[in-house]
Structure 1
Amino acid sequence: MFRTLDPTSIIMILPGILLGLTVHEFSHGYTAYLLGDDTARNQGRLTLNPVAHIDPIGFLMLMFAGFGWAKPVPINPYFFTDRRKGTFLVSIAGPASNIIMAFLLTTLLGILMRTTGAGFAVQQVILSAVSINLVLAVFNLFPIPPLDGSKILMSLFPSRFEETFYQIEQYSVIILILLLVFGVIRNVLFPIVSALYNVLLLYLSMIVF
């Protein structure tokens, strides 16, 4: 379930973890801000400082279990003109930002390999960051409270179902633990991430060659 990392491996994956978590939560907060909710800004979360967004348990899980989460940015949907549309846009902004970041990092690596012949260490750091961003995007799209996927799903359902979602959210930790213990998350998450990663590797090869 958990992996053992040597110091070199930690150095390789740490930049990607910090980048992925920061971009994900900043995107939530900034999208909410654009839609009229300045809660994140008022609480100092509208920042690219990774320290503001790290959840200790989620950070360690991402490092040693291969998936994890950041400290959620506070959002108040009642500031949105259209609460359901606003919730959808804010929720999907995090995973979307990670997908975009993975694409941009792949593009950067391709340019470096084509122009300067990026060294092995640089390649591994960037590829790790690509993988981590994909993990964050896919994991957060799981329709399990309090992950982004559940909020996206809730915004698409009639408002009468909101109370049901909130009731399920009370048991979110238990649900996540059970899914982790029985391998459901890994069996669903990593095949999807692997498929997306292979698509980006194909894109990388098109840039380099």
Structure 2
Amino acid sequence: MEFLDRILRVPLDQLPFYLLTLVIAFTLHEFSHAYFANKFGDPTAKLLGRVTLNPAVHFDLLGIILLLIAGFGWARPVPVNRDNFRKPRVMGVIVSAAGPLSNLLLAVVGAAIYAALILYGVVNPFGPQDKLSLALDTFFNLFVVMNFFLFLFNLIPLPPLDGYRILEDIVPRRVLGKLQQFEQWSLLIFLIILIVPGMQQYTIEPLYKAANFLASHFLVFFHTILGG
């Protein structure tokens, strides 16, 4: 247990809530890609059984382990063949954006529920709590922050993230060819972020700070709205 505490990014007692958050966040993220790709005429994901809310088909073990240890990771990518779209570039942007937007939706809905729980005294983040209240407080805090983080992280314009796929579909074709020349370096960039000491304070940490900022402001917003 002590060894796990040292290597995990989150405290061991929060691990179940963290994993539950990832199950929901990754599943809806990948389902959203698959759903819209199928809607727009590409059956690739559907034929592979990816248009589903079954978490088992979307999870990548290495991606989950890295997220727990390093603070960033991934699920199994949904294969998309843009040639099947009637308007490949426009529909490609929508399909790519659907994943991060699903995390944004989860974060906003989670913030609304969390604010309601605080407002009606079910949880009390600033005072003593029983086991159920503490569990709800811990889960919704993680759920909101992590989904805001995944929303922001996936919009980074580096392959294979969704932000890069969106960029591919909106830049002029002459620029696209130059972009694709750098795809081979994407893994190296991620390894640098992961391995080089001190790099995360300039890469991953600012995203977590931004996620916490969004979470706190949405909580205040919903507390104000619900409190009348």
TM-score of the superposed pair, with normalisation by structure 2: 0.83
Deviation at 1:206, TM superposition (A): 2.1
2: CA distance, partners of 1:170 / 1:77: 21
Change (3 A) 1:199 1:154: same
> Which residue of 2 is the match for residue 166 of structure 1?
180
1:82 is aligned, of 74, 81, 87, to 87
1:188 is aligned, of 206, 217, 221, to 206
2: CA distance, partners of 1:85 / 1:26: 19
Residues 111 and 207, structure 1, Cα contact 8 Å, conserved in 2: no
Of stretches 18-27 and 104-113 in structure 1, the one that deviates more from structure 2 is 104-113
Residues 69 and 136, structure 1, Cα contact 8 Å, conserved in 2: no
Larger radius of gyration: 2
Deviation at 1:102, TM superposition (A): 0.5
> Which residue of 2 is the match for residue 95 of structure 1?
100
Give matches, 1:41-120, under 5 Å. Answer: 41-115=46-120, 117-118=122-123, 119-120=133-134
Deviation at 1:107, TM superposition (A): 1.4
3-state SS in 2 of match to 1:160 = helix
* 2:216 partner letter: N
**Residues 149-186 of structure 1: CA distance to partner in whole angstroms, max 9, x if unpaired?**
11111111112233333322222110111233322322
Structure 2 spans left out of the alignment, 5+ residues: 1-5, 124-132
Structure 1 spans left out of the alignment, 5+ residues: none
Of stretches 28-37 and 198-207 in structure 1, the one that deviates more from structure 2 is 198-207
1: CA distance, partners of 2:176 / 2:81: 15
Deviation at 1:6, TM superposition (A): 4.9
**Residues 46-97 of structure 1: CA distance to partner in whole angstroms, max 9, x if unpaired?**
1111111111121112222222221111111011111111111111111111
Residues 115 and 219, structure 2, Cα contact 8 Å, conserved in 1: no
Change (3 A) 1:198 1:113: closer
* 1:62 partner letter: L
2: CA distance, partners of 1:57 / 1:185: 20
> Which residue of 2 is the match for residue 152 of structure 1?
166
> Which residue of 2 is the match for residue 29 of structure 1?
34
Deviation at 1:5, TM superposition (A): 4.6
Change (3 A) 1:88 1:97: same
Deviation at 1:144, TM superposition (A): 0.5
2: CA distance, partners of 1:46 / 1:166: 28
3-state SS in 2 of match to 1:54 = coil
Deviation at 1:123, TM superposition (A): 1.7
Change (3 A) 1:74 1:123: same
Deviation at 1:17, TM superposition (A): 0.9
The alignment status of 1:137 with 2:151, answered yes or no, reads: yes
Q: Name the Cα RMSD after superposition.
A: 2.1
Aligned length: 209
Change (3 A) 1:96 1:2: farther
* 2:44 partner letter: T
TM-score of the superposed pair, with normalisation by structure 1: 0.90
User: Sequence identity, in percent?
Assistant: 34
1: CA distance, partners of 2:188 / 2:7: 19
Residues 40 and 74, structure 1, Cα contact 8 Å, conserved in 2: yes
